[in-house]
Structure 1
Amino acid sequence: MNVLITGATSGIGKQLAMDYAKAGHHVVACGRNKEALQALEQEFPDTIAGQQLDITHADETLQNLRPYTDLDVVILSAGVCEYVDIDHFEADMFARVFNVNVVGTMRCVEALLPNLKAGSKLVIVGSTARLLPFTKAEAYGGSKAAIHYITRSLQVDLAPRGIKVLSVSPGFVETPMTSQNDFEMPMQVTPEFASASIRKGIEKNTLDITFPRTFGWFLKFSSRLPQSWQVALSRRFSK
């Protein structure tokens, strides 16, 4: 199986690349960190090919991704997180976050979609942060809510072509990005757990891959509560 993964130089993307490579699949690992890509290639010389890529650069993304034509699974996991300082509100921060999490991800879709065939799987990584109005998460959660909606619409539009589109909504995962958080992260899981959950969901064609299960269930249930209750609940989490 041929797999292309963005955000493959750290966190969930890196773990996915290594696990697919260990299973004997051929992986195109995409990311900005040249040294990290080289390290992956050295560790898995027969199964991983690195592709240096910054998805915020439109021409670079299109030129570098379009040559990959024989892909069974595409996993778009590149993303960033910044938190709002409500006393120093900055619209440019929203532009930075959305440029990676939404626009950059869609650049990858633009580049790769013409090459996907019936039976291919397009997997887009979002976040459970989209489910509740968490404190300081206006930009990050907003971008993940947008990407989840886009993914659902792609499920509709690509179904006639036989292309499976799967959404991934992780909870808290031990990654370099979450290591910067200064708040409690309940039910945090390891990258190994995240990778196993995603790979299992992809194998089963699960449209909404959410993990860990209990945390995801709680947030999905909470998102159905009246909005005033959701705000009160999120305020309690922020204390």
Structure 2
Amino acid sequence: MSGVLITGATSGIGLQLAKDYASAGVAVLACGRNQEVLEQLSSQYATLTPLVFDLTDSEQTGTVLKSLPFIPQLWIFNAGDCEYMDEGKVDASLMKRVFDINVIGLSNVIQASQQHYKAGHHIAIVGSIASEVALPRAEAYGASKAAVSYLARTLQVDLKPKNIDVSVIYPGFVKTPLTDKNTFEMPMLISVERASREIRHGLAKKQAHIYFPKKFTSLLRVIGLLPYRWQNAITTKFLVQG
């Protein structure tokens, strides 16, 4: 691998991926808004280069990604956010905040980086298993990740003739600063270290779709195959009523 670019590299899964790839001697372009964290990373890993920008700012993102220190072969678009609605109450401003990061921010980095894509490159986009089943209070997060999944799967179709691989990553619950804010039970929660291993293993094998943990994501995928009425009944019984 000639190198990897990772967005959202200052926290959670992105941070762990940056550390793990850099520890393996891979040249890493670590992207994020937190300059202090990125500078600490670059001081710890000789192969890591920080790129500080806010991906919700299209102009700033374009400026930074226009002239890269090197062109990576692997692009991991991981930055994202999660907020939950109050039960049964739609909050448009919350919806916008989540979509600005998860969907528009993703679009910004793809638009800015696509000028560098070449045959043999590999793009990885982190979605969520929440995109496959309607879950309580996830109107904003789930809808944004459904949009991410659709965008990524469309890129798979459009970039295949150019010999550019696209992988879509569907994690379950991973223990990160983001999920630490959750006030509900998170079934089959896994560590960020395991999440990084699952992702790196799947990407090394060029898997088009990467699901983990297998038991939890497989269960939700099976539920997602059922009629919507049945899906809603199951999630209401086990996730709402308990």
TM-score (norm 1): 0.97
The residue correspondences of 1:1-239 to structure 2 (distance < 5 A) are: 1-44=2-45, 46-68=46-68, 70-86=71-87, 88-236=89-237, 237-239=239-241
* Partner SS for 1:16: helix
* Partner SS for 1:25: coil
User: Which residue type is aligned with residue 113 of structure 1?
Assistant: Q
For 2:92 and 2:234, how far apart are their aligned partners in 1? 26
Query: How far did 1:88 drift?
Result: 4.7
User: Which residue type is aligned with residue 238 of structure 1?
Assistant: V
Query: How far did 1:229 drift?
Result: 1.1
* Partner SS for 2:6: strand
CA contact (8 A) 2:10 2:37 kept: yes
Across the aligned residues of Structure 1 and Structure 2, the Cα RMSD in angstroms comes to 1.0
For 1:219 and 1:67, how far apart are their aligned partners in 2? 41
* Compared CA separation, residues 163 and 172, structure 1 to 2 (3 A): same
Task: Note the alpha carbon deviations across 1:160-186, whole angstroms, 9 max, x for none.
Answer: 111101100000000000000011101
* Partner SS for 1:74: strand
* Partner SS for 1:159: helix
For 2:180 and 2:188, how far apart are their aligned partners in 1? 14
* Partner SS for 1:135: coil
Task: Note the alpha carbon deviations across 1:132-168, whole angstroms, 9 max, x for none.
Answer: 1100001000000010011000000001111101100
Could you list the structure 1 runs, at least 4 aligned residues long, displaced by more than 6 angstroms after superposition: none
For 1:103 and 1:20, how far apart are their aligned partners in 2? 27
Query: How far did 1:87 drift?
Result: 5.6
Task: Note the alpha carbon deviations across 1:78-97, whole angstroms, 9 max, x for none.
Answer: 00001011465311111111
- Percent identity over the alignment? 44
* Partner SS for 2:9: coil
* Partner SS for 2:206: coil
Task: Note the alpha carbon deviations across 1:34-73, whole angstroms, 9 max, x for none.
Answer: 11111101111x1111111111111001111121251110
Structure 2, unpaired ranges of 5+: none
TM-score (norm 2): 0.96
User: Which residue type is aligned with residue 59 of structure 2?
Assistant: D
User: Which residue type is aligned with residue 149 of structure 2?
Assistant: H
Q: Report how many aligned residue pairs link the two structures.
A: 238
For 2:40 and 2:127, how far apart are their aligned partners in 1? 27
